[in-house]
């Protein structure tokens, strides 16, 4: 904290103009319609811009252009159950993708749907954002209707789980295809008795993944009766559910799990039984969360291509922002199986000692 030495004030378009000996509108033209300038003035102006480090003030362009170049996204309280690393990976991807298109992401905390809508209301009425990216769609989701009614541009990461009277753009990961791929992966490794550890019936995402497992098993002619268990998410729950199946007369030799936490639990149960994960019993999780690479052996998992989803969310949203009548697009992208030790017969259980 030395003496109050004045920092140079942030340059405005006028100071650049003075510096380049032109009127300030010419500077504006240099930046927004360079073809209107004579080449020599253009370079002169651009050099002045460079020298002063001028960047147009956001607030002024916002006011003038009636836009904010900001996208709203809800920050979830990940406090509760579940390792929601998906959210944070998606958030990073979304932020990068937005930035590449010259947009920023403004985050808002909201606890439930109503709370989130209140935030929409606030942000929209103040003109603080150009649009929203939604996530975590679910049945009876009031958010989409609210936004559609007010013609606020938005895109949803997460499909609609029921019919709506309006259309909107959304992207989603094909959970069904994910568990199909997981099941096929295990079958390709020689497994015939493949179990499924899922969430209780009623969750859209969970039911979708379960259906994929059933479909793949039916397709491959594999048994499923007595091989599926469902319970609340968690490592402990996964352990208990897996232990239950392993204790049966004809236990599964592989598990498709609805989440990585369940899968870690299953690995735990397998080892507790003295079996080797990967060699004796294979496991595959879902989401490819940090958990997957932090366990030993590393866990196979179904990975959602969040980066490309985020990018496409931004693309779709900006299309709508640029032209509110732009086409409504929806697409389901397929996740990919990331094969690691937990589903690899050559990969033994972790060593016992140090």
The CB density around residue 183, as the number of other CB atoms within 10 Å, is 27
244 binds, among a second copy, DNA, none (CB under 5 to 8 A by kind): a second copy
Name the burial class of residue 325, with classes exposed (0-12), middle (13-18) and buried (19+) by CB atoms within 10 angstroms of its CB: exposed
Tell me, rounded to whole angstroms, the distance of Cα 5 from its chain centroid: 46
Asked whether 349 and 295 are in contact (CB, 8 A), the reply is no
CB of 318 to DNA, least distance (A): 16
Task: Figure out which of the listed residues 42, 82, 215, 275 binds a second copy, where binding follows CB under 8 A.
Answer: 82
**b vs e for 40-69, b when ≥16 Cβ sit within 10 Å of the residue's Cβ?**
ebbebbbebbeebebebeeeeebeeeeebb
Stretch that binds a second copy, among 15-23, 100-108, 154-162, 180-188 (CB under 8 A): 100-108
Stretch that binds DNA, among 60-68, 106-114, 311-319, 332-340 (CB under 7 A): 60-68
Per-residue contact flags (x/-) with DNA for residues 18 to 57, judged by CB under 7 A: ----xxxxx-xx-xxx--xxx-xxx-----------xxxx
Widest distance between CA atoms in the chain: 89
**Minimum CB distance to DNA smaller for 62 or for 330:** 62
Q: Identify each DSSP E strand in the chain by its residue range.
A: 70-75, 104-109, 131-135, 154-157, 169-173, 194-198, 228-230, 254-257, 282-286, 300-303, 330-333, 336-338
106 binds, among a second copy, DNA, none (CB under 5 to 8 A by kind): a second copy
- CA distance linking residue 159 with residue 311, whole number of Å: 17
Q: Using the rule CB under 7 A, is 164 a contact of DNA?
A: no
CB of 53 to DNA, least distance (A): 11
Q: Using the rule CB under 7 A, is 7 a contact of DNA?
A: no
236 binds, among a second copy, DNA, none (CB under 5 to 8 A by kind): a second copy
Q: Using the rule CB under 7 A, is 310 a contact of DNA?
A: no
Q: Using the rule CB under 7 A, is 6 a contact of DNA?
A: no
- Using CB under 8 A as the binding rule, the residues of this chain from 40 to 59 that contact a second copy are 53-59
Q: How does DSSP classify residue 107?
A: E
249 binds, among DNA, a second copy, none (CB under 5 to 8 A by kind): none
**Minimum CB distance to DNA smaller for 34 or for 142:** 34
Per-residue 3-state assignment (H helix, E strand, C coil) for 268-337: HHHHHCCCCECCCEEEEEECCCHHHHHCCCCCEEEECCHHHHHHHHHHHHHHHHHCCCCCCCEEEECCEE
42 binds, among DNA, a second copy, none (CB under 5 to 8 A by kind): DNA
Asked whether 286 and 178 are in contact (CB, 8 A), the reply is yes
- CA distance linking residue 209 with residue 176, whole number of Å: 5
Per-residue contact flags (x/-) with a second copy for residues 168 to 207, judged by CB under 8 A: ----------------------------------------
Stretch that binds a second copy, among 13-21, 74-82, 174-182, 220-228 (CB under 8 A): 74-82
Name the residues that contact DNA, by CB under 7 A.
12-14, 22-26, 28-29, 31-33, 36-38, 40-42, 54-57, 59-61, 63-66
């Amino acid at each position: 904290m030395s003496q109050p030495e004045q920092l140079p004030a942030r340059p405005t378009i006028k100071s650049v103009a003075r510096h380049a000996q032109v009127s300030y509108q010419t500077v504006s033209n240099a930046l927004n319609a360079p073809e209107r300038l004579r080449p020599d003035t253009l370079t002169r102006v651009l050099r002045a811009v460079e020298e002063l480090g001028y960047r147009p003030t956001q607030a002024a362009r916002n006011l003038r252009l009636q836009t904010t170049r900001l996208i709203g996204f809800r920050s979830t309280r990940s406090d509760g159950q579940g390792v929601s690393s998906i959210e944070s990976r998606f958030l990073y991807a979304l932020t990068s993708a937005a930035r590449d298109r010259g947009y920023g992401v403004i985050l808002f905390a909201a606890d439930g749907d109503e709370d989130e809508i209140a935030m929409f209301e606030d942000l929209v009425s103040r003109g603080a954002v150009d649009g929203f990216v939604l996530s975590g769609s679910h049945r009876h989701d009031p958010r989409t209707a609210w936004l559609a009614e007010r013609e606020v541009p938005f895109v949803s990461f997460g499909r609609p789980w029921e019919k709506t009277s309006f259309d909107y753009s959304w992207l989603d990961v094909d959970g069904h295809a994910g568990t199909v791929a997981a099941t096929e992966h295990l079958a390709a490794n020689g497994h015939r008795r493949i179990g499924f550890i899922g969430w209780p019936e009623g969750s859209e995402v969970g039911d979708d993944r379960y259906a994929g497992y059933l479909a793949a098993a039916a397709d491959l002619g594999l048994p499923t009766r007595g091989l599926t268990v469902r319970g609340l998410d968690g490592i402990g729950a996964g352990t208990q559910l897996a232990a239950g199946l392993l204790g049966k007369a004809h236990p599964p030799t592989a598990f498709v799990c609805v989440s990585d936490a369940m899968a870690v639990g299953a690995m735990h149960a397998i080892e507790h039984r003295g079996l080797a994960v990967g060699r004796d019993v294979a496991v595959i999780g879902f989401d490819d969360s940090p958990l997957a690479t932090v366990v030993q052996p590393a866990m196979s998992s179904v990975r959602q291509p969040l980066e490309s989803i985020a990018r496409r969310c931004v693309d779709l949203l900006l299309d709508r922002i640029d032209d509110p009548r732009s086409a409504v697009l929806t697409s389901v992208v397929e996740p990919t199986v990331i094969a690691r030790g937990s589903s690899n017969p050559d990969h033994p259980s972790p060593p016992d000692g140090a």
